[in-house]
């Protein structure tokens, strides 16, 4: 235990003292999202950040990734990556079911960690992970990259400055056409699949930008379901209402998601003075419109553009649209580490946990409304066997 604390202190010092040298990233997972993240990171100055290692399930996969993206070191397994003494901070880009376990491995090695969404498989596990990071004095961030985009930073400024007055309504949507029988098989995974785990955190996070991180008193949801792989049902679309937000009792919000088609993917904040719209695609936004009401019919509109940076040299073709925007999140992690902070103010631990808890409610409401139940909630992906295992000891439903 003493050794562990010393390691933690050493790691934090490393990061805090890294001014003058680049922060050295280690990547867990050699899949599509890791490739995009590493590509985007190349936009940062070489004296600010560099990717120095990747760890994957197999050495071969790590080596192939390292070669194609110019990463110096390849490790077999996630522990090896986490324990690499040259790694300052770990990015977890593995498949969703393994996110929490990979984060635990990084934290156990005394490393700050950025974990792709979702942070965990439910709100309870997300809260446990946050508590673990806090107890170890280590930085933890769920990769809600949207919050770090300049358009969203500007939206937050405008909302907080009262540009549209008291916010009383938020509507947000996100839908895309998944092929559950083909390349998007993950969408019917009984634990990590469904529209809630896939995309609902985005519109929920947009709601929380105005509503704050206190869980709403009321979350109602309905929708449609599809058969999960291996039995049970997953939530396939969700139409939800949220209200009762702490000190914002007048605020009501809707969230609409589907895996059947591309929705407009917009967010509209309605305040007593006007509206603020994050335009499509709202999870990687580059444009927002501020409309100040001039009577009931007319408004004065101003559209603000925040063009995304170009794709950096050395990046592979991106697998997901707008992935160059990962650079905003990565830069924010660097800043937090250099300043010795344990969470990012743009996306706090409380927001991660509240969002995951809301997603839990969406999922269970929709699946219940669909006449099914999420039978697989007691199962977890095992990093060691790369297969399902029973829910770990000590956790309660």
Map residues 354-393 to x or -, x wherever contact with a second copy holds by CB under 8 A: -----------x---x------------------------
Between CA 123 and CA 302, with CA 325 as vertex, the angle to 5 degrees is 100
Q: Which of 1, 12, 3, 2 is nearest to 137 (CA)?
A: 12
In the list 64, 156, 222, 377, the residue contacting a second copy (rule: CB under 8 A) is 222
Residue count of the chain: 397
Judged by CB under 8 A, the residue of 11, 34, 63, 258 near a second copy is 258
Could you say which of 117, 272, 273, 373 is catalytic?
A: 117
Q: What is the secondary structure of 195-259 as a DSSP string?
A: HIIIIIHHHHHHHHHHH-SSPPSEEEEEEEEEEPTTSSEEEEEEEEEEEEETTEEEEEEEEEEES
Shortest distance, CB of residue 306 to a second copy, whole angstroms? 17
Give the interface segment with a second copy, choosing from 254-262, 310-318, 333-341, 353-361 (CB under 8 A).
254-262
Bridge-partner residues for 175, per DSSP?
Answer: 258
CB-nearer residue toward a second copy: 17 or 250? 250
Closer by beta carbon to a second copy, 119 or else 238: 238
Rounded distance, CA 370 to CA 179, Å? 20
Helix (H, G, I), strand (E, B) or coil at 277: strand
| Choice between 48 and 260, CB closer to a second copy | 260
**171 forms part of the interface with a second copy (CB under 8 A):** yes
- DSSP label at residue 31: S
- Can you tell me the distance from the alpha carbon of 273 to that of 96, in angstroms, rounded to the nearest whole number? 40
Interacting residue with a second copy among 45, 296, 317, 393 (CB under 8 A): 296
Stretch that binds a second copy, among 90-98, 124-132, 138-146, 271-279 (CB under 8 A): 271-279
> What residues between 232 and 251 interact with a second copy by CB under 8 A?
236-244, 249-251
The answer to whether residues 189 and 342 touch, using CB atoms and an 8 Å cutoff, is no
Let me know if 200 is exposed, middle or buried by CB neighbors in 10 A (0-12, 13-18, 19+): buried
Alpha-carbon span 2 to 9, nearest angstrom = 11
270 sits near a second copy (criterion: CB under 8 A): yes
Sole window of 14-22, 101-109, 132-140, 258-266 interacting with a second copy (rule: CB under 8 A): 258-266
Give the residue, chosen from 9, 10, 261, 395, that forms a contact with a second copy under the rule CB under 8 A: 261
**Closer CB to a second copy, 105 or 211, in the complex:** 211
117 is catalytic: yes
Question: Buried b vs exposed e over 2-34: b needs ≥16 C-beta within 10 Å?
Answer: eeeeebbeebbebbeebeeebbbbbbbbbeebb
Residues that bind a second copy (rule: CB under 8 A) add up to a total of 52
- For residue 255 the two structure tokens come to 């969230």
Q: How far is the CB of 13 from a second copy (least distance, A)?
A: 44
What is the three-class DSSP state of 317? coil
Longest dimension (CA), the chain: 67
Nearer to a second copy among residue 34 and residue 258 (C-beta): 258
Instruction: Based on the shown chain and the rule CB under 8 A, indicate whether residue 143 belongs to the binding site for a second copy.
Output: no
Ranges of H-type helices in the chain: 2-16, 32-41, 59-69, 78-82, 99-108, 123-136, 150-160, 194-195, 201-211, 326-338, 349-369
Of 92, 133, 205, 221, the one binding a second copy by CB under 8 A: 221
**Between 273 and 391, whose beta carbon lies closer to a second copy?**
273
Kindly list the residues in this chain that would bind a second copy in the complex (CB under 8 A).
Answer: 165, 168-169, 171, 173, 175-177, 218-224, 236-244, 249-256, 258, 260-264, 268, 270-273, 275, 277, 281, 293, 296-297, 321, 365, 369
Q: Which positions are annotated as active-site residues? A: 117
């Amino acid at each position: 235990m003493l050794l562990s604390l010393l390691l933690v202190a050493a790691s934090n010092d490393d990061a805090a003292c890294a001014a003058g040298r680049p922060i050295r990233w280690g990547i867990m997972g050699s899949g599509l999202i890791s490739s995009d993240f590493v590509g985007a990171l190349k936009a940062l100055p070489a004296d600010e950040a560099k990717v120095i290692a990747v760890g994957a399930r197999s050495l071969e996969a790590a080596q192939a990734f390292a070669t194609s993206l110019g990463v110096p070191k390849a490790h077999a397994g996630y522990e090896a990556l986490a324990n690499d003494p040259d790694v300052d901070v770990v990015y977890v880009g593995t498949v969703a079911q393994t996110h929490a376990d990979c984060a635990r491995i990084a934290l156990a090695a005394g490393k700050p960690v950025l974990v792709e969404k979702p942070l965990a498989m439910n709100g309870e596990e997300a809260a446990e992970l946050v508590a673990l990071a806090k107890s170890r004095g280590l930085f933890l961030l769920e990769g809600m990259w949207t919050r770090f985009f300049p358009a969203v930073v500007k939206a937050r400024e405008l909302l907080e400055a009262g540009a549209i007055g008291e916010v009383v309504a938020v509507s947000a949507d996100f839908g895309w056409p998944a092929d559950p029988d083909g390349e998007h098989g993950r969408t019917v995974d009984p634990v990590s699949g469904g529209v809630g785990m896939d995309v609902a955190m985005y519109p929920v996070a947009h709601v929380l930008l105005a509503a704050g991180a206190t869980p709403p008193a009321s979350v109602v949801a309905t929708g449609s379901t599809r058969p999960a792989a291996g039995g049970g049902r997953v939530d396939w679309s969700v139409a939800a209402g949220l209200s009762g937000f702490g000190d914002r009792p007048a605020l009501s919000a809707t969230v609409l998601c589907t895996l059947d088609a591309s929705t407009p993917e917009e967010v509209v904040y309605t305040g007593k003075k006007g509206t603020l719209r994050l335009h499509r695609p709202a999870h990687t936004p580059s444009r927002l419109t501020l409309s100040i009401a001039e009577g009931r019919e007319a408004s004065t509109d101003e559209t603000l553009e925040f063009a995304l940076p170009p794709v950096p040299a050395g990046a592979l073709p991106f697998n997901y649209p707008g992935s160059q925007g990962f650079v905003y999140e990565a830069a924010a992690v660097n800043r937090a580490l250099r300043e010795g902070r344990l969470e990012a103010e743009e996306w706090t631990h409380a927001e991660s946990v509240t969002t995951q808890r809301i997603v839990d409610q969406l999922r269970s409401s929709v699946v219940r409304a669909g006449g099914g139940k999420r039978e697989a909630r007691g199962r977890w992906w095992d990093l060691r066997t790369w297969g399902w295992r029973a829910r770990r000891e000590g956790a309660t439903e």
